[in-house]
Structure 1
Amino acid sequence: MPMGLADFIRSEIEPILKDWEAFAKTLFNARHMNKVGLRDHAKDMLLDIADDLDSHQTDSEQVAKSKGRGPTNHDASWAEIHGGDRQSSGFSALDTVAEFRALRASVVSHWNQAFSEITSRHLQDLTRFHEAIDQAVAESLEQYATVKEMETRLFGAILVASPDPIYVLDLEGRFVYANKATADLFALDLPHIIGKSSFDLGFSFASDFQRNLQKVMADKATFRGKFVHTFASGKGEKFEYLLAPVLNEDEQIEATVCISRDITEQALAEEKIWYNAHHDLLTGLPNRRLFLDRLEQEVKHAKRSNLPLAVLFMDLDGFKDVNDTLGHEAGDRLLTVVAERLTDCVREEDTVARLGGDEFTVILTGAKLQSDIEQVAVAIIDGLAQPFLISQRQVKISVSIGISCYPAHGALPLELLEAADKAMYQAKKAGANRLCFY
C-alpha cells in the first residue's frame, strides 16, 4: 500500500520545516527571530494536519473545511495560537497568511519530488491537505483579528486615559492623530488640530520642534527635547518631549510619534533646590559657592577681553555688639538691610555675595582705573555708615574693605579672594571703617 500524505509529513517534517524557516527569514518582523521563534508552532500544526488526514470526514465536512468553516473545539488550535502570537510580534495579516502559503508549498514540493506518479489516493490526500490548510488560515486570521481588535481597544483606552499629550505627525510635521490630553492642553477640538502643523497653531517653539522632527526623520532615531510655552488652556509652561520614528517594513519612516509631559512643577522644584544651594537663605545674595563660580567666569572673561577685575572683601565693624545686645533676630534683620544697601551701591552686572557671618564680597567688572574702584568702595562705606532702624532702635555700624585686582594680585579666583581678605584685615588694623588695596 503506498505511503499516505499523513505518514509522509511525519517522516519528512524536518526538511519541510527547513523550507518554512528559510521563507520566514524573508519577512520583516522575523529577521531577528531565533530558530524556535521562526518555526513557532509549524511542527505542531503539521502533525495536527497529519492526524486530520488519517481521520474520517464526510463530504459535507470536507466542503466546510475548504471554506475555513471546519469543526472547532473549546481548546485553541495551533493555528489560532500561531495567529495570536504573530499579531503580538508585529506581523501583518498578509505575512501571517504568506507563512501558510509557504508551508503549503513546501509540503507539496517535497511530496511531488518523492512521488513521480500521482494516484487517486494521493489526489485525495492533497485535497484534504489543502482543505486543512485553508481551515488553519481561517483559524489563524480569526485569532489574529481578535487579538488585534483587543490590542486596538486597549491601546485606545491607554491613549484616552493617558494624562500625557500623545500625537502622531506626518512627514510634513502635520498632526494626523492627537489624544484627548493633547486637545485639552491645546484647548482645541480635534478637527482644529488634525492636518495642522505647530507653525499653523502658532506655537512659539515651532522652529526648534520642526528642526528636531527633521533630525529624527533623517537619523531614524529617537530625540528628547524640552520647550517652554504657555498654551491657550493655561496648563503648564515647561515641557519635555520624546520624538520616535515610525518605520515601515522597508525601514522607511512614515510618521513620527511625539509624547510630551508637563514638567513645570518639577522644573520649579529643581530651580528651588538649585537656588537654595547657591544663595544665602537669609539675604537672598549669592553664597560662597555661587560667588566663586561667578568669579571664575569673570576671571576667564577678563583674560579673554584683557579687561581689569576687582574683588572687594568686606567685614562689618560693630556687628557683634548689635547681635549681643539686641539678639540674633535683630542681627539677621541688620544683615538683610546691609545686603540691600550693598546691592544699591553697585551696578546690576556686578556681583554682591554673602560668604557667611558678617562677611560680604563684591565683584567689580570693567573698572579700568583705581579711582573707579575707590569710588565704589567709598560709596559702600558711606552707605553703611548711615544709621539702621532695627527693633525700633537706631543702630550704627561701619565696614572694613579689602581690595584685590586682576591680574596684578592674582590670576586665580581663590588667589584674588585671599588677597582681598588680607587687605581687609589691614584695613581693620588701621582703625576699621576704611578701604585698603592689597
Structure 2
Amino acid sequence: MIRSEIEPILEDWEEFATTILPAMRMGKTGLRDHAREMLLEIADDLDSHQSESERAEKSKGKAPAKGQESWAEVHGSDRQSSGFTVIETVSEFRALRASVVSHWTKAHPTISGPYLEDLTRFHEAIDQAVAESLEQYATVKEMDTRLFGAILLASPDPIYVLDLEGRFIYANRATTQLFALNLEDIIGKTSVDLGFSFASEFERNREKVMTERSTYRGKFTHRFDSGQGDRFEYLLAPVLDGEQNTEAIICVFQDVTERTLAEEKIWHNAHYDLLTGLPNRRLFQDRLEQEVKHAKRSNLPLAVLFMDLDGFKDVNDSLGHEAGDRLLSDVAKRLSDCVREEDTVARLGGDEFTVILTGAEQHKDAEQVARTIIDALAQPFLIDKQPVRISVSVGIAFYPIDASTPGALLEAADKAMFVAKTAGANRMCFFASSEHTGESPS
C-alpha cells in the first residue's frame, strides 16, 4: 500500500510541511526526498521478517544498528542544519504517520489479521525513525554547539551576549582580555555598571536593535584597562525566537585603532602641507567653499587674504633649500599667531599663503590683520644662527562685494596681491582699490 500510494501520501505530507516556517524556504525536492526514501525504507522493513523481541525493541526506538546511516538519520541531520526545531521535526513525522494511516484506512476499511499486524509494525517503524532522526539531530546540534563554542573561544574579536536588560550572559576570552576583567566580574553586569565611557550611547543603540529587530553598526573611542587600542567598531544583532521576538543581543567588537590611525594619516597627508603643517590648497579650497556657503546663509561678509613672500627666492638661492624650508616653516608659525583660532591659514604652494577671515565686517578689520602680518614677517628670522629678512605682499578680497564664488574670490585676492607686489612689495592692497587706483598704501 505504501509503495502504491506513495504520491498521494507525499502530497499530503507536502501540504503540511509547507506550514512549518523553515520549510517555507525549501523547494519541493528538499521537502519530499527524505520522506520518499524513509517511506520506501519502512516498506522494505515491513516486508522483512522480524521476531517478537526485535519488534518490541523497535517500538522503543532501539532497533539494532544497520551499519549505515538510515534515511531517518539523514533527515534529522538535514532538518537541524536547515533551522528546524525538535518540535518541528517531530511534527513532520506525525504528519507522515497521519498521511499513511489515512490512506491505509481508505484502502482497508476493515483492518484485521495481517493488515492490522502490518499497521502495528508501521507504527513501530515510524517510532524507530523518529528516534533515529532525533538522535542524529541531537548529535549534529551538539557538534554545532561545540564548534560554535570553539570559534567563539578562538576568535580574536571580543564577542558577547546580552539579555533584554543589557546584562552580560556570555563573554568569550577576547572580551575578558579586552576588559581586563574576570568572567565572573562581567556576567550579570551592564556596560553602565562596568563604567564604560560609551555606555550611554551603546545602550540606546542596543534598545533600538531589540525593539526594531535589526542589526546596528557603531563606533566608539575608549581606553580599556587592558590598554588594547582605543578606536573600536561594533556590531549589535538580535537573537530571535520562533515567534521572531528578540530574546537576546549579540555584540562583536573590532579593534580598528591601527586602521583608523593609518586612514587619518593618509587623510592628513592629503590635506595638509607636510612642510609647514598648514592646510594645503585642497583643504583650503574645501574650507573656503564651506565658509562661502555659511556666509551666504547667514548674510555675513567674508575676507580672503592672498600673500606672497618678498625676497624668498634670494634666501633660497643664497642659503639653500633646507634654509628656505625652515624659513617657510617659521613664516607659517608667525602667520598662525596673527589670526584667530577660527580663521584658516593655508599654504597654497611655494611661498604663497592664504588666510580666510570669517566675520570681517569692515575693511579695517581685514586691514588690521594684514598690517599685523606685514609687521610680524618684517621681523628678522634666525636661520642657521644668522638673521634673515623678508617681507610680504598682501591682497585682500571680500565676499560678496568683490566676488560671489570661492574661485572668483581667491582670484580677486590674487590680483590684489599682484598689484601690491608690483607697487613696491611689503604692502597690502584691496581688490576694489586695485581695480580703480592700481595701488594701496603699505
Which TM bucket (shorter chain)? over 0.9
Q: Distance in 1 between matches of 2:73 and 2:153?
A: 30
Rounded to whole Å, the distance in 2 between the matches of 1:111 and 1:342 is 98
Matched residue, 1:5: none
Structure 1 residue 218: Cα displacement: 2.4
- Whether the 8 Å CA contact 1:313–1:360 is kept in 2: the answer is yes
SS at match of 1:9: coil
Q: Does 1:431 align with 2:424?
A: yes
Of the three residues 224, 232, 239, the one matched with 1:231 is 224
Partners of 1:41 and 1:148 lie apart in 2 by 19
Cα deviation 1:244-274 (Å, max 9, x = unaligned): 1111111112112111211111111111111
- Picking from 268, 287, 294, the partner of 1:301 is 294
Residue 40 of structure 1 deviates from its aligned partner by 4.0
- Which residues of 2 match residues 320-359 of structure 1 at below 5 A? 320-359=313-352
Which has the higher mean CA deviation after the structures are superposed, 200-209 or 56-65? Answer: 200-209
Q: TM-score, normalised by structure 2?
A: 0.95
Distance in 1, Cα, partners of 2:83 & 2:222: 37
Residue 4 (structure 1) aligns with: none
Matched with 1:11 is 4
Corresponding letter in the other structure for 2:340: R
Any idea what the Cα deviations from partners look like across 1:7-62, whole Å, max 9, x if unmatched? x0001001111111122122222122111122241100100110110011111111
3-state SS of 1:353 partner: strand
For residues 219 and 160 of structure 1, what CA distance do their matches in structure 2 show?
29
Are the aligned partners of 1:87 and 1:144 in contact in 2 as well (CA < 8 Å)? yes
CA distance in structure 1 between the aligned counterparts of 2:324 and 2:227, rounded to whole angstroms? 43
Are 1:167 and 2:157 counterparts? no
Aligned residue runs from structure 1 range 71-150, under 5 A = 71-150=64-143
- Does 2:41 match 1:48? yes
Q: Deviations over 1:193-216 (max 9, x none)?
A: 222222222222222212212222
Does the residue aligned with 1:372 lie in a helix, a strand or coil? helix
Q: Which amino acid aligns with 1:93?
A: V
Output the CA distance in 2 between the equivalents of 1:283 and 1:74: 79
Letter in 1 for 2:376: G
Superposed CA offset, 1:369-416 (max 9, x none): 322211111111111111112223321111100000111111111111
Counterpart in the other structure of 2:193? 200
Structure 2: tracts of 5 or more residues without a match: 432-442
Contact 1:40 1:82 in 2 (8 A): no
| Equivalence for 2:27 | 34
* 1:381 is aligned to 2:374: yes
Question: Unmatched 5+ residue regions in structure 1?
Answer: 1-7
379, 383, 391: which one aligns with 1:398: 391
Give the letter for the 2:371 counterpart: V
Q: Which is further off, 403-412 or 20-29?
A: 20-29
Match of 2:404 in 1: 411
Deviations 1:90-127 (A, max 9, x none): 11122212211211111111101221111210111011
Q: Indicate the residue corresponding to 1:217 in structure 2.
A: 210
Amino acid at match of 1:435: M
> Is 1:57 the equivalent of 2:50?
yes
Q: Which moved more, 1:232-241 or 1:425-434?
A: 232-241
Q: Report how far residue 219 of structure 1 moved.
A: 2.0
Shifted more, 428-437 versus 208-217: the winner is 208-217
Partner of 1:151: 144
Given the alignment, which residue of 180, 193, 214 partners 1:187?
180
Q: Could you tell me which amino acid in structure 2 is paired with residue 414 of structure 1? A: G
Query: SS at the partner of 2:127?
Result: helix
SS at match of 2:3: helix
- Whichever residue aligns with residue 400 of structure 2, its letter is P
Equivalent-residue separation in structure 1 for 2:324 and 2:266 (angstroms): 26
Which one is further off, 346-355 or 69-78? Answer: 69-78
**Equivalent-residue separation in structure 2 for 1:211 and 1:25 (angstroms):** 39
Task: Tell whether 2:284 aligns with 1:284.
Answer: no
Alpha-carbon separation, structure 1, partners of 2:245 and 2:180: 33
Taking structure 1 as the reference length, the TM-score comes to 0.96
CA RMSD of aligned residues (A): 1.2
Question: Greater shift after overlay, 399-408 or 170-179?
Answer: 170-179
Residues 403 and 435, structure 1, Cα contact 8 Å, conserved in 2: yes
Amino acid at match of 2:293: K
- 2:239 pairs with 241, 246, 253, which one? 246
**Number of residue pairs matched by the alignment:** 431
Equivalent AA in structure 2 for residue 364 of structure 1: L
Q: Is the 8 A contact 1:313 1:424 kept in 2?
A: yes
Q: Secondary structure at the match of 1:209?
A: helix
